[in-house]
Amino acid sequence: MSLESGDVILIPYAPYTNYLVTKPRPCLVISSSQFNKTRPDVILAPITSNIRERDSTQVVLRSDESHFSQTGLRCSSAVKCGAIFTFSQRQVRRKLGVIHSDVLREVRQVLSRILIQD
């Protein structure tokens, strides 16, 4: 499967959970397609339905937005930019959809703020 930045994918579990219960989780691919083509892992940001409106590290994906249906998600969700991780591409279950380019740009801005600004 060829993964691109902005793809919404499903993985069998998220490494930030307790592993006692494995439950498929959606994630956003944030690594570049060039990175994804040359490495066995992909860099992901988890997606949650637990939206925290005042959390500046989350980017909200609202179900009432016109491009939400392209994400493949079932309900309004948030990209957790403060919880990025690497994951084996071989373990990716499937691609659910893709986020709009404006949302991807917002995710990148939040990541930049988290990683660069002091």
Instruction: Supply the DSSP string of the chain, one letter for each residue.
Output: ----TTEEEEES--TTS-SSS---EEEEE-S-HHHHHH-SEEEEEEEES---TT-TTEEEE-TTSTTGGGG--SS-EEEEGGG-EEEEGGG--EEEEE--HHHHHHHHHHHHHHHH--
Confidence class of residue 117 from pLDDT cuts 50, 70 and 90?
confident
pLDDT tens sequence across 28-77: 999 999 999 999 999 999 999 999 989 999 999 999 999 999 999 999 99
Residue 47's pLDDT is 96
Is the pTM here over 0.85, yes or no?
A: yes
Q: 7-116 architecture in CATH?
A: Roll (2.30)
Confidence class of residue 107 from pLDDT cuts 50, 70 and 90?
very high
Residue 118's pLDDT is 67
Which two three-digit tokens encode residue 72? 């493949």
Cβ–Cβ under 8 Å, residues 10 and 93 = yes
**Annotated domain spans of the chain:** 7-116
Average pLDDT over residues 87-107: 97
